[in-house]
Amino acid sequence: MLNTLKCSVRLIVIAKVLAKHGALFFFESLRITNFAVQMIKTTKTQKFMLSKGKRLANALIELGPSFIKLGQALSTRSDLLGSDVAEDLAMLHDELPPFSGDDAVKIIEKEFSRPIDALFSEFNKTPHAAASIAQVHFAKTLDGKEVAVKILRPQIENKFKKDLRLFYWVAKATEKLQPSSRRLKPVEMVKTFEHTTMLEMDFRFEGAAISEMAENFYGEKYFKVPEVDWIRTSKRVLTTSRIHGISIDDSDAILKAGHDPKAIADKAATAMFKMVFEDGFFHGDLHPGNLFVDKEGNLNAVDFGIMGRVDEQTRIFLVRMLKAFLDSDYKEVANIHFKAGYVPADKSIDEFAQATRSFVEPILGKELSQISVAELLGRMFAVTANFGMQVQPQLLLLQKTMLMAEGVGRKLLPSANMWEMARPLVEDWALENMANNRVRHISKNLVDMIETFPSYIAQAEKLTRQMSEGVKIHPETINYLINKSSKSSCKKRNSAFMQALPWALIIYLAIALFKL
């Protein structure tokens, strides 16, 4: 009861901030927040020049770090907020006023139990960038290496835990009061948000992610990641080699440096599809501020706090679906969805294929500059809702990442078509890996059969030996059958025993087989 009261009061405060920025619509769709909306609404109307998504983004920034992260998570949920709002949230700038450089030094010294001078020969107390959960300072190690030092905000974990209680309360109440919302899995969404955010606030995990991606791209020059300085890395401090380059969305600077935008776009597409399909491990926050072009024209990524994984089964599903899309084979698209169990079996495959055609055909064959990703996503989610298709949480972050990749491609080369750039990569991967996957599956089954064959032989020999020695039935079972049959005539007695005996044998054999 006390938690309900606290959450209700907090919702009213949040509603005031939303109303201030013209973003009260965020609460209007949730029945649980209706009371807060009604308390804030007045007869006075105000006109706002910004789009709904940008107004919501500004409100979330004012509400603080937890809500900025929530906005980034919601940017993957066009089904909740609409494609236009989600697209604006995908570009939500994770920027907050910095905490003091003196506090940053204190955190570092506490983490390593050493004075700052024992770790760095130079440390710039003015932060290079400040985001919702951390800020970055440039420094030099004792041996003169340039590094970037990422430091967690003071007390940020406690603030997140407080806000998470509110998010869970709203999600659970929404599922209870609005049964139709269960298809969208709001509680599961909050769980995913909690898991990813807590991992993001432990910089040892980010360091491990950087190391794993470095292994995946070992020997590749077109896409680079920084080197982790593990000696100067802890839960709250991450030190990596400093990256120098031009932000990938600064097309004028890229051209001035003599780089070919198409070559860079090709490298970005290649890196993205390698991450997703070959490795199943991808950077989940590849906005332009995290991707740089070095003097050789290669890509350099930073900020590995948000990462995504795609298992092999999902990758096979995705590549088959993408290939079917690119071949305009909408019946195959429908079949793939039904076989994967994403669409209920009682729905019509032909109708799903027709609906798929309705939102895919308008974009194929067009230049990227002519394609409205927001409109495409809006149509896609309308189709999924009409066919009762459950949201797949493992694909939400990937969807957002692909949207960012398209944004990068559009900025670099407005005439490019990401679908066509992706086609040879998808087809090559499909030819090589789908066949290999079948071979691996058959080989695994064959190996399993060979490994278990001796145990089947032993079981058969043991069962044969037991049968040859006669079936042993517990005396109580025999007495029960005799006593029960004595109440009937001899004919019925014999008949009852003969009917019961096969079932007793079956039960005995079942027990014997399960115990072997």
The yes-or-no verdict on residue 494 having pLDDT over 60 is no
Q: Lowest-confidence range among 161-170, 194-203, 303-312, 431-440?
A: 431-440
Helix (H) or strand (E) holding 87: helix 83-90
* Residues labelled catalytic: 285
Mean pLDDT, all residues of the chain: 79
The confidence band for 224, taking pLDDT boundaries of 50, 70 and 90, is very high
CA distance 230 to 278: 27
The confidence band for 499, taking pLDDT boundaries of 50, 70 and 90, is very low
Residue 20 CB: number of other CB atoms within 10 A?
15
CA distance 293 to 412: 12
End-to-end CA distance of the chain: 55
Residue 448: the pLDDT is 57
CA distance 87 to 75: 6
> What residues contact 153, with CB distance under 8 A and at least 6 apart?
65, 99, 132, 133, 134, 135
User: What's the Rg (C-alpha) of the chain?
Assistant: 30
Between these two residues, 289 and 429, which has the higher pLDDT value? Answer: 289
CA distance 296 to 385: 47
Residue 315: the pLDDT is 85
The yes-or-no verdict on residue 35 having pLDDT over 70 is no
From 146, 139, 145, 171, select the one nearest 70 (Cα to Cα). 171
CA distance 381 to 447: 42
Q: Lowest-confidence range among 74-78, 189-193, 210-214, 255-259?
A: 74-78
CA distance 194 to 160: 9
Q: Burial code of 155-170, b = ≥16 C-beta within 10 A, e = fewer? A: ebbeebeebbebbbbb
Between these two residues, 424 and 454, which has the higher pLDDT value? Answer: 424
The yes-or-no verdict on residue 348 having pLDDT over 80 is yes
Both tokens assigned to 153: 């905000």
CB 351 within 8 A of CB 324: no
CA distance 131 to 99: 10
The confidence band for 43, taking pLDDT boundaries of 50, 70 and 90, is very low
Helix (H) or strand (E) holding 317: helix 312-326
Chain segment 136-187, per-residue pLDDT in tens:
999 999 999 999 999 999 999 988 998 999 999 888 888 887 777 776 778 8
Residue 229: the pLDDT is 98
Phi, psi of 234 (to 5 degrees): -145, -165
Beta-ladder partners of 241: 147
From 128, 166, 240, select the one nearest 7 (Cα to Cα). 166
Say whether 488 sits in a helix, a strand or coil: coil
Residue 510: the pLDDT is 40
Both tokens assigned to 482: 């005799």
Q: How far is CA 5 from CA 1, 32, 488, in A?
A: 6, 13, 71
CB 205 within 8 A of CB 234: no
CA distance 511 to 463: 11
Between these two residues, 73 and 290, which has the higher pLDDT value? Answer: 290
Phi, psi of 324 (to 5 degrees): -65, -40
pTM over 0.95: no
- 3-state helix/strand/coil string of 166-202: HHHHHHHHHHHHCHHHHHHCHHHHHHHHHHHHHHHCC
CB 238 within 8 A of CB 207: yes
CA distance 515 to 509: 10
For residue 274, what is the DSSP state? I
Q: Lowest-confidence range among 61-65, 88-92, 145-149, 389-393?
A: 389-393
Place of tokens 């209870």: 176
Q: Which phi-psi region, left, alpha or beta, contains residue 326 (left: φ > 0; alpha: ψ -120 to 50)?
A: alpha
